[in-house]
Amino acid sequence: MANAIAYYRVSTKKQGQSGLGLQAQQTAVESYAANDGLTLVDSFTEVETGTNKRTRPTLQAAMKAAKKNDAVLLIAKLDRLAMFISFRAFWKAASSLWLLICQKSIT
């Protein structure tokens, strides 16, 4: 079995506290990992809006953990990254790791 690191992001503190969106992301990632034979070794959750953010410290920590553990980085939906202002910098930093988007119809 290959290792995986999960990254979750919700946009508001209210979503983070209520679990709105977060539970759907966790379910999608856990289901994807189970179906693909991946072992989730760690997870990172970020509660932050996507507007005017140049860095994502939690995303960067998840990427570092994925590299350290020779793991794939699992993200429930591409839109969890879409608001990352420096998307180009993300791809440059992510060039040496596997990124899997578990996107299905998550609400």
Residue 35 belongs to what domain range? 2-101
Residue 53 or residue 85, greater confidence: 53
CATH number for 33: 3.40.50.1390
Residue that the structure tokens 């570092």 belong to: 64
% pLDDT > 90, the chain: 29
Q: What are phi and psi of 94, to 5 degrees?
A: -85, 0
Asked if residue 107 is part of any domain, the answer here is: no
Please count the structural domains in the chain.
Answer: 1
Asked if residue 96 is part of any domain, the answer here is: yes
Asked if residue 106 is part of any domain, the answer here is: no
Asked if residue 37 is part of any domain, the answer here is: yes
Asked if residue 61 is part of any domain, the answer here is: yes
Summarised one tens digit per residue, pLDDT across range 7-42 is 998 876 555 455 458 888 899 899 999 999 999 999
- Interatomic CA distance for residues 73 and 28, integer angstroms: 13
